[in-house]
Amino acid sequence: MKLYVSVQTEAQLQVALQSTASRALVPLQLLDKIPQHERERVVITLPWLFEANVNKVKATLGQARSLGFSRLLADNLAHFAVAKEFDLTLHGSHRLNITNSVSLGAYSDMGLTDTVLSAEMLAAQMRDVTGDIATGYISYGRLPLMTLRRCPKSGGSPCSPPKANCRAFMKERDGRRLPLICDGHAVYLLNAAPLWLFDKAKDFSRMSFDLVVFTTETGEEAERVLAARRKHDKPSEQTAFTRGLYFKGVK
């Protein structure tokens, strides 16, 4: 199974580049940390696009294109238009919410070259989604619960890189901490526990790749996560984790 890794910080990026990952999903603001010979592996991820930031984001993307970056993660239809404008290869994110072969075929016709399927499916349902392009699933990571326009910590606009992760969190009534990530454009409220499916890899054996999503992990934690993936480890008893909906399904 091929490995894709999504990162938020420079430390996570270094771990991803040193790993066997065939693709590294990297935010626009970290691209200047990537040596030339690694650029082919990189899939650029864009911040949330608003009318107010779209021109600035496109200008930065144009610079990245001229440096040799050629791949873009598609979260929504705007990214298909942007990819066409800059002649970028498109990779689909779980946010496209592809749950069937009809949808997969339509997105493939629009230029998608591979995609993560919806995170709201059963593992068994994923096996039935087939088409011309490779499909993958999220095997690890804290998934966003909600996107906010203001940072609850600063009380104002989202904190900007390099302190993109302002280390703020919200507390559930039961005391669990929901981390927040600011990317300079929006704030993402994350699940308290990461999804963990390394020990369930055989249920996904028909898929082409799995995506490991790093959010709040330090570089050392990210290394430990990739080591656990190699060994198909179960989550440790101390680790709070979730299986997502892959096995429960939607009721």
Q: How many residues bind Zn ion (CB under 5 A)?
A: 5
Residue bearing tokens 């994350």: 190
Spatial CA neighbour of 197 closest among 126, 103, 106: 126
Spatial CA neighbour of 2 closest among 14, 17, 18, 20: 20
The two structure tokens encoding residue 177: 């901490």
> Binding segment for Zn ion among 102-110, 126-134, 161-169, 219-227 (CB under 5 A)?
161-169
User: Edge to edge, what strands does the sheet with 144-148 contain?
Assistant: 144-148, 187-190, 177-182, 169-171
> Binding segment for Zn ion among 19-27, 48-56, 162-170, 197-205 (CB under 5 A)?
162-170
Task: Tell me whether residue 115 or residue 216 sits nearer to Zn ion (CB atom).
Answer: 216
Task: Tell me whether residue 143 or residue 148 sits nearer to Zn ion (CB atom).
Answer: 148
| Shortest spacing between CB 48 and Zn ion, in angstroms | 14
| Shortest spacing between CB 217 and Zn ion, in angstroms | 18
CA distances 4 to 25, 66, 135, 248, Å, are 7, 24, 12, 24
Scan residues 81-100 and list those touching Zn ion (CB under 5 A): none
159 binds Zn ion (CB under 5 A): yes
| Shortest spacing between CB 158 and Zn ion, in angstroms | 6
190 binds Zn ion (CB under 5 A): no
List 98, 117, 121, 166, residue binding Zn ion (CB under 5 A):
166
List 182, 212, 222, 226, residue binding Zn ion (CB under 5 A):
182
Cα 203 from chain centroid?
21
Q: Cα–Cα distance between 82 and 99 in angstroms, integer?
A: 24
| Shortest spacing between CB 136 and Zn ion, in angstroms | 30
The two structure tokens encoding residue 59: 């200008």
225 binds Zn ion (CB under 5 A): no
Q: Cα–Cα distance between 78 and 165 in angstroms, integer?
A: 26
Please state whether the peptide bond connecting residue 162 to the residue before it is cis, i.e. omega within 30 degrees of 0: yes
Scan residues 135-154 and list those touching Zn ion (CB under 5 A): 151, 153
| Shortest spacing between CB 90 and Zn ion, in angstroms | 30
| Shortest spacing between CB 156 and Zn ion, in angstroms | 9
Task: Tell me whether residue 35 or residue 155 sits nearer to Zn ion (CB atom).
Answer: 155
DSSP 3-state assignment of 121? coil
Give contact residues for Zn ion (rule: CB under 5 A): 151, 153, 159, 166, 182
